[in-house]
Amino acid sequence: MKTEPTTAVLKQIGVVHSPYSEKKDAPFQGRHEMKEATIELFEAYEPGLLDIESCTHLHVLYWQDKGDRTILQTKTPWGPDIHGVFCTRSPNRPNLIGMCVVDFLERNGRFLKVRGLDALDGSSLIDIKPYSPAIDSFPDARIGWCKEGK
Amino acid sequence: MKTEPTTAVLKQIGVVHSPYSEKKDAPFQGRHEMKEATIELFEAYEPGLLDIESCTHLHVLYWQDKGDRTILQTKTPWGPDIHGVFCTRSPNRPNLIGMCVVDFLERNGRFLKVRGLDALDGSSLIDIKPYSPAIDSFPDARIGWCKEGK
């Protein structure tokens, strides 16, 4: 059976306010610089935040609109070698979804203060998911091509 | 400054072949049933897999097209209470992106055998990212509304 590729439309549900205004300012990973950022959810989606205060960590999904959708192999900050984008966290990839685990610090209405987000200021928010250690935490995982394995 | 919501178009880059052909068959989380599934990447994207064999775990992002985009609050399998969708992993949410950490078992060309994926058979693949324990593993994280905290 031949499968025809399809497309889907993402809706922006909010905006990231971060200390990183340009690509050169942003850390390779937000985790390596523990700066604070604010996630603003648009009013229409605020009911979706019910009970989010009870989460210590969140997955933040955003749109990396400065990325290049045509790149399939790339260098990384971790060495001189070329790798496929699907084994790197490069913003350049067929679908420009950025994903980052953040510490959740504080909620003020539809504004969430977080720490560890690597998104550029003004990035479009597309989803928030709770971080569940039961299904998301694998401390023994390894990325073999990376010298430190992680 | 008023921010106007924008949209972005996701491209399907492959297809999931899983043992779950209907919504009622799929586990709440793939991690709770360790069945095997195969991720098929379309030919055009195969160069993006270079070195992926060196990863032990992958984040798989797929499109949950059976989800309801209008739902903002929901019950969960874990209790009778209603929660905002952004603190649940419900497939019902404004953007139907499903995300699952899987064990990576084997690569055969553009086909990846994995374990622990909760996607329905035929789901559209939209991204693969390497799992990095340095930035993705937080064993002490908690979801407070959930009885077991995780």
Residues of chain B contacting A11 with CB distance shorter than 8 Å: 5, 7, 69, 94-95
| Residue among B101, B72, B59, B95 at smallest CA distance from A86 | B59
pLDDT of residue A150: 75
Residues of chain B contacting A8 with CB distance shorter than 8 Å: 9-10, 12, 63, 65, 96, 124, 126
Mind listing the pLDDT tens digit for each residue in B71-98? 999 999 888 899 999 999 999 999 999 9
pLDDT of residue A77: 86
Measured CA distances, B135 to A30, A142, B46, B101 (Å): 8, 12, 26, 14
| Residue among B143, B97, B111, B96 at smallest CA distance from A135 | B143
pLDDT of residue B1: 47
Q: Which helix (H) or strand (E) holds A133?
A: helix A133-136
Q: Which residue of A has its CA nearest to B148?
A: A134
Q: Which residues of A57-86 are buried (b: 16+ CB within 10 A; e: fewer)?
A: bbbbbbbbeebeeeebbbebeeeeeebbbb
- CB-based contacts of A113: which residues, under 8 Å, 6+ apart? A36, A37, A38, A104, A105, A106, A107
Distance, first Cα to last Cα, chain A? 38
A4: how many CB neighbours lie within 10 A of its CB? 5
CA atoms within 13 A on the CB side of A111: 7
Confidence of residue B29 (pLDDT cuts 50, 70, 90): low
CA atoms within 13 A on the CB side of B22: 2
- CB-based contacts of A19: which residues, under 8 Å, 6+ apart? A25, A35, A36, A37, A121
Mind listing the pLDDT tens digit for each residue in A18-77? 999 887 777 666 566 688 999 999 999 999 999 999 999 999 999 998 899 999 999 998
Q: How far apart are CA B28 and CA B146, in angstroms?
A: 14
The answer to whether the Cβ–Cβ distance between A7 and B10 falls below 8 Å is yes
Residues of chain B contacting A115 with CB distance shorter than 8 Å: none
Q: Which residues of A28-55 are buried (b: 16+ CB within 10 A; e: fewer)?
A: ebbbeeeebbbbbbbeebbbbbbbbebb
**Worst-scoring range by mean pLDDT, A45-54, B32-41, B94-103, B128-137?**
B32-41
CA torsion sign, B143 to A135 to A125 to B17?
A: negative
Confidence of residue B100 (pLDDT cuts 50, 70, 90): very high
